[in-house]
Amino acid sequence: MSLADQAFAVIQERIVSGSWAPGHALNRRDLAEDLGMSVAPVLEALVLLERQGLVETMPRVGTRVRAITQDGVRGQMLLREAFEVQAVYLLHGSGLRSHRSALLPLAEAADADYEDQRARWAADLAFHQALVAALGEPALTAAYANVMQLGFFHMINVVIDQQPRRRARDSHVRLLRRLLRVDAASAATAIRHHLASGKLALYTQAENTAEEAA
């Protein structure tokens, strides 16, 4: 792993975990000293993080953890739906059955009750990432992972601590069983319904919270 990759991983984890909140200043020299490396790999990491949507650089302000906006939440939400719909549309039914043994435990874990809401969201994320990865398209899987890192950032900062500790409204196990037996169009409809009944509702709350903070 290169120094830029190391810097990227550390900074990304601190942002996504909520250790650094939106608006947190990111001084490249201070970061380089903290990470024990030169400024160059830190700058490279910050450029990649800006492309991912986690940091922003503003005139006379500098680089900081990106503020959460309505447009940012909406864009991430739409990208997530697009990736998941495309994956299940291409992999529905018989194409998905060979992955059933790997996906079912993840679906069950996503349906479990959690006291820690971050653990609950992480389990949900693990199932959906595996569902997209089952298509076997590395570029799609990597792009989806970036989108969901941004989603986790939104959840940690404006949604997750406000959610009641309850089971997801739409079962992941039921969703998987449906995807295993339906045609392509019905699979796309099923994943849209699943997102609309749970995750997208949470993002709508994130969007409202971002508007109130503006």
**Mean pLDDT score of the chain:** 86
Domain annotation for the chain: domains and CATH numbers: 3-65 (1.10.10.10), 70-213 (1.20.120)
> What pLDDT shows up at residue 206?
53
Long-range contacts for 26-34 (Cβ within 8 Å, ≥24 apart)?
A: 26/55, 26/62, 26/63, 26/64, 26/65, 27/62, 27/63, 28/63, 31/7
What's the confidence (pLDDT) of residue 107? 97
Q: Give the integer Cα–Cα distance in Å for 56 and 46.
A: 9
Q: What is the CA radius of gyration of the chain?
A: 18
Highest mean pLDDT among 53-67, 94-108, 193-207: 94-108
Task: Report pTM.
Answer: 0.78
Q: How much of the chain, in percent, has pLDDT values that exceed 70?
A: 87
Instruction: State the pLDDT at residue 75.
Output: 86
What's the mean pLDDT in 43-59?
92
The DSSP result for 95-146, as a single string, is: HHHTTHHHHHHHHHHHHS--SSHHHHHHHHHHHHHHHHHTT--HHHHHHHHH
Residues 44-53, mean pLDDT to the nearest whole number: 93
Using pLDDT thresholds of 50, 70 and 90, give the confidence band for residue 212.
Answer: low
pLDDT at 160: 52
